[in-house]
């Protein structure tokens, strides 16, 4: 027997008004300028990117350069502060309203993001999501962060694969999906109800006719509603 409905939300640009990884990295580095020279460690990945277009490679390199070597308690303290900032000032009111509607209907809520498990699960838990799927980062055995990726980068076709696996396992009656970028189109097209948030003209032209465009206002943000 199939389960109830499933509502899948992307994070960056869908629930949050902006990217979350760069502010997470820079927010830690800004008051600690002595760590900035470590960013040179990401230069080889940056030079490879125009040729390989490997978002996971450069993401892992940037995290390794910015935060590599930090211990869990140190990162946990920064993550707690960062997530509080995002929840208080960085969310679309329309996203919170959509989450509340699905929660009120008893739908299962899935947060699925290419951003990392350094902070995405905490945001998901704070917003009442039932499950989080995101990119995982590598830790060393001594408890320090390596920062390179420990999983596939949860973007594009990998998001589609993850959603296909979940649907095959749980057989939801209906799937709703909310996301904002061209790379999200594959999994939006898998859903019975796909919603493209603030899509560019090029992305809208590429989207299947069944995907519904939605405009969420960037002029204001919602505070935490817990």
Q: For every one of its 226 residues, what pLDDT tens digit does the chain have, with 9 covering 90 and above? A: 457 999 999 999 999 999 999 999 999 999 999 999 999 999 999 999 999 899 999 999 999 999 999 999 999 999 999 999 999 999 999 999 999 999 999 999 999 999 999 999 999 999 999 999 999 999 999 999 999 999 999 999 999 999 999 999 999 999 999 999 999 999 999 999 999 999 888 888 888 788 999 999 876 544 433 2
Degrees to nearest 5, angle at CA 64 with 61 and 70: 175
Measure CA 14 to chain center: 9
- Tokens 């919603």 belong to which residue? 195
Q: Name residues whose C-beta falls within 8 Å of residue 5's C-beta, 6 or more positions apart in sequence.
A: 102, 105, 106, 107, 108, 172, 173, 174, 175, 176
Domains in the chain, CATH or no CATH each: 6-214 (3.40.50.1000)
| Strand ranges, E, within the chain | 6-9, 108-116, 131-135, 137-139, 145-149, 175-179, 193-197, 212-214
Q: Are 35 and 29 in contact (CB under 8 A)?
A: yes
């Amino acid at each position: 027997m199939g389960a109830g409905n499933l509502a899948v939300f992307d994070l960056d640009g869908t629930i949050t008004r902006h990217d979350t990884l760069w502010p997470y990295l820079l927010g830690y580095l800004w008051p600690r300028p002595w760590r900035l020279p470590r960013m040179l460690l990401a230069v080889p990945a940056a030079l490879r990117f125009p040729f390989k277009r490997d978002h996971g490679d450069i993401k892992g390199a940037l995290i390794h350069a910015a935060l590599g070597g930090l211990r869990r308690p140190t990162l946990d303290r920064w993550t707690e502060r960062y997530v509080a900032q995002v929840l208080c000032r960085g969310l679309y009111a329309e996203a919170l309203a959509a989450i509340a509607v699905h929660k009120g209907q008893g739908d299962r809520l899935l947060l699925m993001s290419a951003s990392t498990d350094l902070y995405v699960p905490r945001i998901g838990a704070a917003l009442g999501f039932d499950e989080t799927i995101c990119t995982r980062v590598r830790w060393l055995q001594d408890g320090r962060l390596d920062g390179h990726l420990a999983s596939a980068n949860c973007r594009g076709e990998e998001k589609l694969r993850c959603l296909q696996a979940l649907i095959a396992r749980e057989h939801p009656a209906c799937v709703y999906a909310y996301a904002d970028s061209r790379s999200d189109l594959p999994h939006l097209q898998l859903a019975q109800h796909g919603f493209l948030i603030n899509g560019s003209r090029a992305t809208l032209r590429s989207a299947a006719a069944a995907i519904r465009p939605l405009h969420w206002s960037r002029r204001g943000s919602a505070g935490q509603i817990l």
